[in-house]
């Protein structure tokens, strides 16, 4: 009986662990963002593409939600992900701003003099060129930063280093030979926390919302909508335009709004409804913290 009880507890514990789909592999920045929001006890579901992240996040039987990058402070918006969000039945329930900090990772005991090659994603290599140019190392492009870290761990390589996150170093028992080797120090990525619409709950103290809308495209229609947002004291922290497929240069908009209280948000939505043809709320949530 005690054995069965122990097994039952284990199963219950497994059920209580949230399953979160992420783009990339274990040790990726997506996993780091997920851990900041959900806690380190989550079980991540690595996905090859953002489309797969959204598909799994929308399936309550497969996961409890997902984490998806939406913009970077240097590279800008990830436009295809807005389209994935629009087509999905997911709601934004939170966000995380994560500083992208790249590190040179090696197996224990490896020194700078031992390194012959550095493996990482092309973007990560580009972000660290000022550091890498100091050495005559061969740079090898791979599909993922965390996967590069996992590879050198599995091969017990003494002559290959990887560029990846601190989390990847912890997961794969690697040493950080050189921390923060990225050139641009103010490099942040914003991640959206997604859940199925039916499971989304507006948190107490919610002060940010993401909405989608388009106007009738008559002269001044967008200006009218923006004026009404401003008149209600709501801060428009982001406005992203998208061409409407099949139209003659007509556009829809994604807007991120920041407000002081939820009633203020409801009031501004009522105010802009008459000057929009379609108006949809993607999510109402707490403004994200920066890590």
Ranges of each domain in the chain: 17-99+188-199, 103-178, 208-290
Task: Give burial (CB, 10 Å; 0-12/13-18/19+) of 61.
Answer: exposed
User: Tens digits of per-residue pLDDT, 100-119?
Assistant: 999 999 999 999 999 999 99
> Is 3.90.320.10 the CATH classification of the domain at 103-178?
no
Q: What integer pLDDT is reported at residue 15 of this predicted model?
A: 59
Largest CA distance in the chain: 75
Q: Which superfamily does CATH assign the domain made up of 17-99+188-199 to?
A: Periplasmic binding protein-like II (3.40.190.10)
User: Tens digits of per-residue pLDDT, 223-247?
Assistant: 999 999 999 999 999 999 988 887 8
Distance of alpha carbon 17 from alpha carbon 8, whole angstroms: 15
Q: Look at residues 75, 30, 73 and name the one whose alpha carbon lies nearest to residue 48.
A: 30
CATH number attached to the domain at 208-290: 3.30.70.260
Above 90 in pLDDT, residue 2? no
Q: What integer pLDDT is reported at residue 219 of this predicted model?
A: 83
Distance of alpha carbon 176 from alpha carbon 160, whole angstroms: 13
Q: What integer pLDDT is reported at residue 245 of this predicted model?
A: 83
Sign for the pseudo-dihedral over CA of 89, 273, 263, 207: positive
Average pLDDT (145-156) is: 94
103-178 shares the fold of 17-99+188-199: yes
User: Tens digits of per-residue pLDDT, 81-90?
Assistant: 999 999 999 9
Above 80 in pLDDT, residue 161? yes
3-state secondary structure of 284: strand
Single pTM value for the model: 0.85
CB-based contact 169:176 (threshold 8 Å) = yes
In which residue are the tokens 């436009």 written?
79
3-state secondary structure of 190: strand
């Amino acid at each position: 009986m005690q054995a069965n009880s122990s097994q039952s507890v284990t199963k219950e514990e497994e059920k209580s662990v949230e399953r979160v789909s992420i783009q990339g592999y274990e040790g990726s920045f997506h996993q780091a963002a997920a851990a900041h929001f959900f806690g380190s006890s989550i079980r991540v579901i690595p996905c090859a593409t953002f489309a797969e992240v959204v598909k799994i996040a929308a399936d309550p039987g497969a996961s409890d939600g997902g984490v998806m990058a939406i913009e970077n402070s240097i590279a800008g918006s990830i436009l295809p992900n807005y389209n994935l969000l629009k087509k999905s039945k997911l709601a934004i329930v939170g966000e995380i701003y994560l500083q992208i900090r790249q590190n040179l990772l090696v197996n224990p005991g490896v020194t700078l003099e031992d390194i012959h090659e550095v493996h990482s994603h092309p973007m990560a290599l580009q972000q660290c060129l000022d550091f890498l140019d100091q050495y005559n190392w061969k740079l090898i492009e791979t599909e993922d930063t965390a996967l590069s870290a996992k590879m050198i761990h599995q091969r017990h390589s003494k002559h290959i280093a990887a560029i990846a996150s601190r989390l990847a170093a912890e997961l794969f028992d690697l040493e950080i030979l050189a921390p923060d080797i990225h050139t641009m120090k103010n490099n942040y990525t914003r991640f959206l926390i997604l859940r199925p619409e039916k499971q989304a709950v507006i948190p107490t103290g919610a002060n940010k919302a993401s909405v989608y809308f388009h106007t009738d495209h008559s002269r001044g229609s967008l200006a009218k909508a923006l004026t009404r947002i401003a008149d209600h004291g709501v801060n428009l922290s982001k406005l992203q335009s998208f061409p409407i497929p099949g139209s003659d240069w007509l556009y829809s908009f994604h807007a991120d709004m920041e407000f002081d209280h939820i009633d203020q948000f409801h009031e501004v939505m009522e105010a802009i409804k008459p000057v929009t043809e379609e108006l949809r709320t993607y999510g109402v949530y707490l403004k994200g913290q920066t890590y």
